[in-house]
Amino acid sequence: MAVFEPEAEGIVLDAEETGGDIVGRSPWALAGRRLLRNRISLAALTLFLLIVVVSFGAPIYAHDIAHTDPFASNVTGTIKLNGKTVDVIQQGTGKLGLGETPIGPTWSSQYFLGADNQGRDVAARVLYGGRSSLIIGLSSAALACLLALLFALVAGFFGGFTDTIISRLMDLVWAFPVYLLAISLATVLLTSAHGLNLGLFTLSASSLWIPLLIIGLIYVPYVYRPIRGQVLSLREKEFVEAAIAQGAGSFDGDRAAAADDCHDDPDGIGPLVPLDRRPGAAGELGHDHPGRPGAALHATMGCDRAGDHDPADRVGAERLRRRPSRRARSPLEGQV
């Protein structure tokens, strides 16, 4: 049996820890453990959280600190600096005095980073831009993951014709270059006078929902394929076959409970231990219980439990025996 070696997995142990102390920890716990030990990663995470908090606080900065409207032109506005009234848009400083120059950084509450050529506060606009970018990025990623998860579960679970149709639709979207497709959709939707009409809902061309939907829908195939591959792999696991052998159907409410009960191995090594070396292997394999094939079935699946040896399991064992070792799949279904 393979021995868990933390060093081979890139895990550094404390002086008092052993490999057995971290075997039962979840991947999230191990990832958090690594993060807490990496000071550079902690510094980057702190900076990122600071940017997020400051960006989402853009309305507070604009209205309560800078006292300005970052979207309204203010070419004739003035501010007070060191007791003097200063124009936001100043006359050109050249010899001829031509042109106009926006005020530079004041390092005060108003126009902290200066003004643009329309007299708008640059700092407030930067914060609003970061806020919009975070909303679009996080929401589109959540939308892409949600739709990809839904399609992948349906395609991987049912397989066959359903899997083929969904996978080909995803390939159709995938066939277009990402940026070309995004720019094409944005050109049509963002330049339309009526925006996007979704029946009950109408989105204006200036709505953040339009870029959110464009980005989210385009990246669905990129998330769909790896999830579908995991579903196809999970569908062939032994605990799923054991649940089917117990009589669970595709839409049986007890199927998930049966699979969870069979898969509930505290050590996670039941199927890995040779059957002839496990305690009571001869009895579990049904050698001394010829009339109870359910015992052999559950031992083979690594799901032997105290209440499993029931003569009623004969039907389930016979069902699994007649079931092909692997369900027939279309040639395209194995592509992940």
Let me know whether 104 and 137 are in one domain.
no
* 2 within domain boundaries: no
DSSP class of residue 72 equals: S
Last residue in a domain, options 233, 252, 269 = 233
Let me know whether 114 and 180 are in one domain.
no
Let me know whether 142 and 199 are in one domain.
yes
Rg of the chain on CA atoms, in Å: 31
Question: Do 26 and 20 touch, CB atoms closer than 8 A?
Answer: no
Let me know whether 242 and 222 are in one domain.
no
* 248 within domain boundaries: yes
Per the listing, tokens 């989105």 go with 203
* 104 within domain boundaries: yes
Let me know whether 149 and 246 are in one domain.
no
pTM recorded for the entire structure:
0.64
* 177 within domain boundaries: yes
Per the listing, tokens 């009526």 go with 194
- Determine the structural domain holding residue 260 and report its residue range: 236-322
Question: Do 311 and 294 touch, CB atoms closer than 8 A?
Answer: yes
Last residue in a domain, options 119, 141, 157 = 119
* 270 within domain boundaries: yes
* 222 within domain boundaries: yes
Type of residue numbered 90: Q
Let me know whether 109 and 137 are in one domain.
no
Let me know whether 101 and 171 are in one domain.
no
* 210 within domain boundaries: yes
Question: Do 194 and 201 touch, CB atoms closer than 8 A?
Answer: no
pLDDT averaged per 10 residues, the chain (length 336): 49 55 73 87 95 94 91 88 85 66 87 91 94 94 95 91 94 91 85 73 81 92 93 87 77 50 42 37 39 43 46 51 49 46
* 23 within domain boundaries: no
State how far the Cα of 123 lies from the Cα of 36, in Å rounded to an integer.
33
Let me know whether 130 and 216 are in one domain.
yes
| Residues whose CB falls within 8 Å of the CB of residue 332, separated by 6 or more in sequence, listed in order | 163, 164, 167
Give the number of other Cβ atoms within 10 Å of residue 124's Cβ.
Answer: 25
- Counting the structural domains of the chain, the total is 3
CA-based nearest residue to 231, from 165, 300, 150, 173: 150
E strand or H helix that includes residue 320: helix 314-322
Let me know whether 90 and 176 are in one domain.
no
Let me know whether 91 and 135 are in one domain.
no
Give the number of other Cβ atoms within 10 Å of residue 192's Cβ.
Answer: 13
Let me know whether 148 and 160 are in one domain.
yes
Let me know whether 147 and 166 are in one domain.
yes
Report pLDDT for 252. Answer: 53
The count of C-alpha atoms lying within 13 angstroms of the C-alpha of 297, restricted to the half-sphere facing its C-beta, is 30
Question: Do 139 and 149 touch, CB atoms closer than 8 A?
Answer: no
